[in-house]
Amino acid sequence: MKTTSVFIEHVIIGAEVIAWLFAIAANIDYRVLSLVKTALTMTSVSVILVGFCYVLGLIFDRLYDWMFDHILFYKPEGTAKRVFLIKEEIKSSKAIKERYDATYYEFALSRKRIIRGTAINLFLISASLFPLLYNHGYKDLSFAVLFGGIILGIVCLFVYIKLLYDFFRKISGHVNEKDEEKLNVIKKITYGQIVHAILKDRFCKCHREKPSLELSPDLRAEYDRPKAEQDG
């Protein structure tokens, strides 16, 4: 089931990539659209295309992951973990998956992967369709597609942050379940605070290594205490 789910995710992302690649090709030579239409009616070509979508999905999923960490945002998952008081020893995704709800982890990862790829692909699809439609007399439609794609892409970015918020809020509840003060802090963390912290990390380098919420002095000392000392 897990393998099938990952395959479908990459096919979806790859299909979106092919959409803007074909749009770019059609801008160069409009006859590409006719070739695509003919090819899609052929079963053998369709099967090959699904495989090609999967390969493209694998490649671009990794590229988009890097873009989310270094261009659009700055390591947003790390920011969310820090805000939700998830300490260093369990910061890796593998550790979270092994120690807590693996099924929920896989489900959350699947949604994040798809929405991340769709966000960037919407920008690229609308940008590549704009000149194609505009140059063929569909000026009003071209602007609608362009601005519609940009707006939907931005919405996807905020949905991605909401997925991070929901996921790490749940995981942090497990991590800190025996610490009442931390649980009280976690319960008060809002989606807006996560958005603010992620955007601030993107544009303010000095903010990246600091806890993003105000904690009591005792809790701050506990949060900052080295792991070796805690295990003491």
Residue 51 falls within a domain, yes or no? no
Q: What are the tokens at 160? A: 């991605």
- Which pLDDT value is given to residue 122? 94
Taken in order 219, 221, 227, 230, the sign of the CA dihedral is negative
Model confidence, pTM: 0.77
Q: What are the tokens at 218? A: 């005792």
Residue 28 falls within a domain, yes or no? no
Alpha-carbon span 110 to 225, nearest angstrom? 34
**Among candidates 65, 47, 162, which has minimal Cα distance to 113?**
65
Residue 150 falls within a domain, yes or no? yes
pLDDT by residue for the chain (232 residues), tens only, comes to 456 777 788 899 999 999 888 888 888 877 777 777 776 666 666 778 888 889 999 999 999 999 998 888 888 888 887 777 665 545 455 555 555 556 667 777 888 889 999 999 999 999 999 998 888 888 899 999 999 999 999 999 999 999 988 888 887 776 666 667 777 777 778 888 888 888 888 777 655 555 445 444 554 555 555 444 444 4
Q: What are the tokens at 151? A: 């707006």
- Which pLDDT value is given to residue 210? 53
Residue 193 falls within a domain, yes or no? yes
- Which pLDDT value is given to residue 227? 46
**Among candidates 11, 16, 9, which has minimal Cα distance to 129?**
16
- Which pLDDT value is given to residue 50? 84
Residue 10 falls within a domain, yes or no? no
Residue 110 falls within a domain, yes or no? yes
Alpha-carbon span 46 to 16, nearest angstrom? 15
Cα dist. 155→64, 70, 120, 204, 207 in Å? 17, 19, 11, 23, 25
Domain tally, the chain: 1
Q: What are the tokens at 134? A: 């505009």
Residue 47 falls within a domain, yes or no? no
- Which pLDDT value is given to residue 89? 47
The residue length of the chain stands at 232
Residue 18 falls within a domain, yes or no? no
Domain encompassing residue 158 = 61-225
- 158: Cβ–Cβ under 8 A, 6 or more apart, which residues? 195
**Among candidates 212, 120, 111, which has minimal Cα distance to 157?**
120
